[in-house]
Amino acid sequence: MMIQQRITEKLTSRFSPVHLEVTNESHMHSVPPNSETHFKVLLVADCFEDKRLVQRHQQVYGALAEELAGGVHALALHTYTPSEWAARGKAPDSPQCLGGSRVDKA
């Protein structure tokens, strides 16, 4: 099973999200083609009510501990309550990576 699919399944099971997007952003980084190392997660769930941002992120990290220990290098988290999501409507765009090896001087 692909890592992106595992992340989606685990987050769906754990959080019963109102809205979920898991985007593989590895292509934006200095990694081999078809890598699954960098992900953006947009997660909207009722369980985030009355939770601070750090608590929300800790919950997600806990759910994805296996993936984070085994190959996922970066996880951009955007966690919202349904009312926050209704007011916002979209997650911020991810910046382009400078790709350390692309900017290192030889």
pLDDT number for residue 89: 79
64: number of CA atoms within 13 Å, CB side?
28
pLDDT number for residue 105: 46
Mean per-residue pLDDT pooled into runs of 10, the chain (106 residues): 87 97 74 67 97 97 91 86 91 68 46
Whole-prediction pTM? 0.81
pLDDT number for residue 18: 96
pLDDT number for residue 104: 45
pLDDT number for residue 97: 64
Q: How far apart are CA 71 and CA 65, in angstroms?
A: 11
What are the start-end ranges of the H helices in the chain? Answer: 3-15, 53-63, 65-69, 82-88, 100-103
pLDDT number for residue 34: 63
pLDDT number for residue 36: 63
